[in-house]
Structure 1
Amino acid sequence: MKKKIRHSMDIALTALGIGVIFTAVIMGYTLEVRMQLPIALFGVLLMEAGIWGLSAKLFPNERKFITLRAELDGMVDLVRELNSSALSDSDAAGEHFDRTLAEMHESVNRMSQLAGIQAHVADRK
C-alpha cells in the first residue's frame, strides 16, 4: 500500500512542478521577471523531487522478512538464468540448466528455513 502512495506522490509532485512552471510562463505577461524566475525555479524543484522519488524518504519501506526477501530476489535471478539456459542452443546448456535447477532447489530449502524470521530494519529501496 505504501508503495502505491509513494508512486502517487512522485507523480503528483512531478505534475505539480510542471503546472507551476507552466503557470510562471503563462503569467509572464502579468508578472515581472524577478517574480517569474523564482516561481519557475520552485516548479523545477518540485518536478525534480518527483522524478528522483524523494517521497520515499517520507514513506520508508519497512520490510519484516528481509532475509527471506533477499533469497526470493535470488530465486528470481535463478529463474531468469534457467530460462536462458533452456533457450540456449549451446552444448553446455544442458549442464548449466541442471546446475541452475539444483541451485533453485537449494534456494527453496533456504527459504523454508528463513520463513517466519523477522528483522525490523528499514529497507531503503
Structure 2
Amino acid sequence: MRKLRRTLKLLVPAVGMALVIGAVLLAESTGIQLFLVIAGLMLTEAGVWRLADPLLPDERRFLALRAEADHFMALVRQLNSAALALNQGDVEGSSFAIDEVRRAMHDSVDRMVHFAGKTEAETGDGVLDGGAV
C-alpha cells in the first residue's frame, strides 16, 4: 500500500503536467486544448493537495501512540506560549502554566510508553480527546 501511495503521489501531478503540455503542443482544436488544460490543472492540483489520500486505506497501526504524540506536540506549543509570557513579565501566571504543562507532558510521556509498540486492538479504547487514557 505504501508503494501505491508513493506512486500516486508522483504519477497524478506528472499526468496532469503531461496533459497541459500535450494540450499546448499537440491539440489542434481550441476546445480540446481548453478541456485538456483544465483536466491537467485539476490533476496537478489533486496531486499537490493529495486528494487521493482519503480514497486509500489508512496504513497506520499504532493510532493511540500517534494521537498521544500529537497531543504532546500541542503541549509543546502551550509550553512555548507560557515561556514567552514569562519573558514578557507575567511571572506568576506563567510559572503556574509552565508547571501545569510540565506535569501534563510527564503524564503524556507515561501514556506514550504505555502505547508504544501496541496496535489499536492491543490498547483497547486507546486515547480519548485531550490525550487522556
TM-score, length basis structure 2: 0.68
Amino acid in the other structure paired with 1:114: F
**Alignment partner, residue 22 of structure 1:** 21
What is the distance in 2 between the residues matched to 1:65 and 1:11?
26
Q: Give 1:56 shift.
A: 1.7
Give me the whole-angstrom Cα distance separating, in 1, the residues matched to 2:83 and 2:107.
19
Query: Where do 5+ consecutive residues of structure 2 fail to align?
Result: 122-133
Runs of 4+ in 1 over 6 A off after TM superposition: none
TM-score, normalising length: structure 1 = 0.72
Q: SS of 1:62's equivalent?
A: coil
User: Equivalent residue for 1:99?
Assistant: 100
Across the aligned residues of Structure 1 and Structure 2, the Cα RMSD in angstroms comes to: 2.7
Task: Pick the structure with more strand per residue.
Answer: 1
- The answer to whether the 8 A contact 1:20-1:42 is kept is yes
Matched-pair identity in %: 37
CA distance in structure 2 between the aligned counterparts of 1:116 and 1:18, rounded to whole angstroms? 41
Point out which structure has higher relative CO (alpha carbons under 8 A, 6+ apart).
1
Residue 67 of structure 1 corresponds to 64
Between the aligned partners of 1:112 and 1:8, the Cα distance in structure 2 is 34
Give the C-alpha shift of residue 67 in structure 1: 1.0
Partner in structure 2 of residue 48 of structure 1: 45
